[in-house]
Amino acid sequence: MGADQKEYTDCYDVIQCALLADLGRLHPGTSDSQNVGSSSFVTTPVIILIGVAGFVAGALAFLGARRRGK
């Protein structure tokens, strides 16, 4: 592939991703940086939801204890 094609297009990256996907090292549509260290089965939205639920539970517990103290 010519130097100007490498510089101005993403053909090289697309070809590399396709080759790696065929080898089973990479899922189609993702890049190496997204695939590294992603061994968790819990997705980011689930983690955020758990955090928000924990915050709401803590806030409700705080308000209940505050109300009981009056």
Arithmetic mean of pLDDT, 23-49: 65
**DSSP labels, 17-67:** HHHHHHHTSS-TT--HHHHTT---SS-HHHHHHHHHHHHHHHHHHHHHHHH
Q: Which two tokens stand for residue 3?
A: 């130097």
Q: Which two tokens stand for residue 39?
A: 């061994």
At residue 17 the predicted structure's pLDDT band, cuts being 50, 70 and 90, is confident
What are the tens digits of pLDDT across the range 26-38? Answer: 555 555 555 555 5
Does position 21 have pLDDT exceeding 70, yes or no?
yes
d(CA 48, CA 18): 32
At residue 55 the predicted structure's pLDDT band, cuts being 50, 70 and 90, is very high
At residue 60 the predicted structure's pLDDT band, cuts being 50, 70 and 90, is very high
